[in-house]
Structure 1
Amino acid sequence: MSTALALDHVGICVRDPAPVWASWERLGFALSPIAQQSGRRTPDGPVEPFGTGNRCAFLRHGYVEMLGILDPSLFANGVDRFVARYEGMHILALGIGETEENLARLRRGGLAIPGISWLQRPVEPGGPIARFARLPFPDAPEGRVQLIQHLTPELVWDPRWMAHRNGAEALETAILVSAAPAETTARLARLAGLPAEPDPLAGFRLRLPGAPGAAGPDSPAMETRIRILPPEALPRLLPGVAAPSLPFMAGMVIRTSDKAAAARALLRDLKLVETPDGVMVPPEFTGGAAVVFA
């Protein structure tokens, strides 16, 4: 199928990732081991080590990536530019089933995509190499918005780091803020190959249809969403969250197995905030992105 199927992951980018990794473990997530990334700067270039590294919270459906700079002397793959704007969410990846078909669709639509961008990383030090094929929207002001196909999904969605004390199960919604919501929505709809519709609150939303295995080897077929709001609507959805600059990837909604009961109990000493979708952990506790447990 030559359209996006589901929210695959969102990514939080910071200069120093260690404190953020510790914070996410405090929130009840079991994180994957530290993995330094490598890849090709051009479709035909050699594989080289990058200066960036990540840990991830893998869910039954989708995941959250916490990415930082481990070696400033090496290529940072754009993370340095992102954190110069703000520390927080800068990556939005939509899962696809077939990379070549989507590349052909995007090129037919006039997007100047040079080819498939290949990325790889060890799943743990000395472990097997996970491989990914990406189709990034060129020069998107929102951040790194891309289509992604996991070539080795069974390596990254490992049961060892998927049992979360907070009951997290699925990445359900990504929330963006834009001074020009129609323009941002048009870019995302073009990348996804899907129509947009008015958001119930304000702005627009994209509904990704889902498919079995679209965001993890055992992920169910479920609808996921991207909401693109004007700045004045943000306080109604995520109270107390302010955009450091626009456009801004503000946060996410994570579906839990128990309507956030475990998260509320585990995080009762934090300043949690009630929202229309669930209980929110403010950005200061997460590396810059609002996390709503639903």
Structure 2
Amino acid sequence: MAGNSALALDHVGLCARDPAPLWAAWEGLGFALSPVARQSGRRGPDGPVEPFGSGNRCAFLRHGYVELLGILDPALFANGVDRFTARHEGMHILAFGMEEVEGNLARLRRGGLDIPGIAWLERPVEPGGPIARFARLPFPDAPEGRIQLIRHMTPDLVWDPRWMGHRNGAEALEGAILAVGDPAATTARLSRLTGLPARPDPVAGFRIALPGAAGAAGPHSPAMETWLRVLPAGALDGVLPGVVPPTLPFMAGLVLRTGDGAAAARRLLAHLPLRDAPGGGVMVPPGHAGGAAVVFR
């Protein structure tokens, strides 16, 4: 992997003030979640490492993962979770995998972005376990949520086979869908951050394709294209049926590739009000997935 641009959709993140119901909902969707991990990090590039009040569990896939984030100690710095959940509970994080941290930082600064430096984050992979470390380049003040480039410094610690066998057959994070008031403005920001061009979406708005590379979103991830769709609010129902934005901008949903054409997901989740997803697959409505639509295909 090389180059000063994003390579793949690394992960998306859902936020809840109380994470326990969110974690339970995703376990009910057939995911094997990682243990609870408390976060810590530096608030600024030169600040000390300090414990945060936020913590997560994750659904790790062969390619990418889904982070389920909440507040474990409201007395400590919440790492933005309080700000996100004040808008609504649901998806607020988009992270794109990169290889060249310093090269991408230089590219973004040349483009006029006020990025103070590399933001470091760390957390134990499980209570008392080894520490996973991450280098991040967050897009400053993005109204859509936390949008960032990320490089995993310890990927083999994060993608542990113990947490990657999902009863629903999910294997890869394939894409994410946003509904926004001004698709052109949002897409321009995302294209600037990723260093990748945007093209018209076949429904409406725009689409950014990330080229992929072996190991771009997990130590054993295949080379596969991932994507981001940025749609006007009026087009969302044609992509995620019945989903209504609670506010704009809105990270509306994610698409997971399965190994069986979503057959296991359809059987396992037949008790839920599933919807057929345009373009193939089956959709779990946001109300049953922590505030974001989840498409299995």
1:148 is aligned with what amino acid?
A: I
Counterpart CA distance in 2 for 1:77 and 1:67 is 10
From 83, 90, 93, the equivalent of 1:91 is 93
1:224 is aligned with what amino acid?
A: T
The residue matched to 2:217 in structure 1 has which SS?
coil
From 205, 208, 218, the equivalent of 2:207 is 205
User: 2:291 is matched with which residue?
Assistant: 288
Trace 1:1-294 onto structure 2 (pairs within 5 A). 1-277=3-279, 278-294=281-297
State the shift of 1:31 in Å.
0.4
Counterpart CA distance in 2 for 1:120 and 1:48 is 10
1:287 is aligned with what amino acid?
A: G
2:287 is aligned with what amino acid?
A: E
Counterpart CA distance in 1 for 2:12 and 2:205 is 20
State the shift of 1:65 in Å.
0.4
The residue matched to 1:103 in structure 2 has which SS?
helix
Counterpart CA distance in 2 for 1:53 and 1:11 is 12
The residue matched to 2:52 in structure 1 has which SS?
strand
Counterpart CA distance in 2 for 1:243 and 1:276 is 18
State the shift of 1:98 in Å.
1.5
1:238 is aligned with what amino acid?
A: L
1:197 is aligned with what amino acid?
A: R
> Residue deviations 1:182-222, cap 9 Å, x none?
00000000000000000011100100000000000000000
Runs of 4+ in structure 1 off by over 6 angstroms are: none
Structure 2 residue runs of 5 or longer lacking an equivalent are: none
State the shift of 1:77 in Å.
1.0
Counterpart CA distance in 1 for 2:268 and 2:121 is 35
Counterpart CA distance in 2 for 1:6 and 1:201 is 22
State the shift of 1:275 in Å.
1.3
* Root mean square deviation of aligned Cα: 0.5
State the shift of 1:172 in Å.
0.3
> Residue deviations 1:71-127, cap 9 Å, x none?
000001111010000100000000001111100000011100000000000000000
The residue matched to 2:70 in structure 1 has which SS?
strand
Counterpart CA distance in 2 for 1:287 and 1:51 is 20
Provide TM-score, normalisation by structure 2: 0.98
Structure 1 residue runs of 5 or longer lacking an equivalent are: none
Counterpart CA distance in 2 for 1:89 and 1:23 is 14
1:292 is aligned with what amino acid?
A: V
Provide TM-score, normalisation by structure 1: 0.99
Counterpart CA distance in 2 for 1:244 and 1:84 is 12
The residue matched to 2:121 in structure 1 has which SS?
strand
Task: Give the aligned length.
Answer: 294
Counterpart CA distance in 2 for 1:263 and 1:122 is 30
1:222 is aligned with what amino acid?
A: M
